Amino acid sequence: MDLTGLALRVAAARPHVLLAAVPGGTEVRLAAERLLRARDWPQASTPAQADLLFVAGPDLPELRTPLERLWRDMPAPRARVHARTADEVEDALNAGRALLGPPAVRPASAAPPVDAGGHREGDHGARERHEGDDQTPGHDGHDGHGDHGGHGGHGGHGGHGGGQTEMPGGLPMAGQGADRDGLTLDQLHLPLGPFLADWPAGLTVRLVLQGDVVQRVDVDEPARPIDDAAAEAFWVQPWLRAASGEPVPVGEAVRRRAAAHLDSLGRLLAVAGWPAEAVRAWRLRDDLLSGAPRAAVAPRLERFTRRVGGSRTLAWLTRGIGVVTAQKAREAGVGGPAARAGGDVTSRYRQWLADIRHDLPRLEDPAPLDVAVEDSPRGPWSAEHPPSAALIALLPRLLEGAELAAARLVVASLDPDPDELVSRGVVEVARG
């Protein structure tokens, strides 16, 4: 029996896709997620589960090394493609499936266009290494969960500087340091990101752990694209356009804001271990973005917000985690839902739900958008001070002293958008 050929045919028929979104690639990611659901192609949450690596967004040289780590950690047969714009998504996915097919039946046209960045390895089922591949072992990822499976501590493996010794498989060996009681305990340096599932695109948070408690947190600067014009902050586009003088209806802005909250809720629900509701959130998000009328989405949105907001299990899982008062949030420059919630992870996701209910009657409001009145999804919009910059700056304060199992939930409940820091409109303002 030709087991290699069978494996190739199975992978090509229904590839497991590892979606790696980079800053500025939100619109590409959304298009890919919609098409993957339409085709019933599973999304992988770790490289070990994946056949096809799909890079979504502009070219960011700073992220090439972690992308190579993802690629190396995928078992053969494997293929990778790159879509820089939403228009390229379908061709890139088709090219990826063609690249995974057995060589004897792969059409001559299977090679993807240059822009798709298509590449395939592993016709004979063995891993291959290329000259120039990064030699640092490891990948940041997480496994899937069952419904309400708990906090879900999600770690990652990766290369670490500072002379740290690594064990086989990429796990760093622990050093030693004094804890708060003066005892000497093992310390582990652990990066989260930049390509975790259900994680802000390209964000890297570096933790120092003693046991399962976070002792120190550092956040890397966001990676920037080669061409600033290639990066767009998708969720705040209505506010960017209105700020430039273009007339934008309020309905368009609140629709985008509600969709952004649903996107964030989907991430949090997935991290918390409620994948069925995460998918419902993303389907509602896509319906709003496609322009579905209020009457068509209102009953489903009402059911969703009641079900998630009334879940005692979800509230129990998230209560008391990542507490920040409204006053402390404002002092840190944070506005929007995180400041209005004034509490823990539970308070923040319930604030998203309340904001969605508030926006629902206004999805078709034709009045002109006033950026000074209507908040963007993550707070009052300012290109000089993007709201996500304050959310990212708040992370060390909320994560230090927290258990590792809670760290992913804290990040998901803030869900900063790195696109805001690298998009064309923001870069132009920063340059004056």
The pTM (predicted TM-score) of the whole model is 0.82
- Condensed to tens digits (0 to 9), the pLDDT of residues 102-141 reads 765 444 333 343 344 566 655 333 333 333 333 333 333 3
- Condensed to tens digits (0 to 9), the pLDDT of residues 44-57 reads 999 999 999 999 99
Rounded mean pLDDT, 269-276:
97
The answer to whether 46 and 139 have CB atoms below 8 angstroms apart is yes
pLDDT over 70 (residue 323): yes
- Cα gap 98→226, rounded to integer Å: 29
- Condensed to tens digits (0 to 9), the pLDDT of residues 67-81 reads 999 999 999 999 999
pLDDT over 80 (residue 277): yes
Of 298, 296, 300, whose CA–CA distance to 279 is shortest? Answer: 300
pLDDT over 70 (residue 182): no
Band of pLDDT at residue 7, cut at 50, 70 and 90 = low
For residue 304, the one-letter residue type is: F
Rounded mean pLDDT, 238-253:
96
Domains of the chain and any CATH numbers: 3-121 (3.40.50), 228-431 (1.10.645.10)
pLDDT number for residue 226: 74
pLDDT over 70 (residue 301): yes
Q: What angle do CA 348, 237, 64 make, to 5 degrees?
A: 85
Find residue 216's DSSP bridge partners: 208
Looking at every residue in the chain, the average pLDDT score rounds to: 83
The answer to whether 376 and 257 have CB atoms below 8 angstroms apart is yes
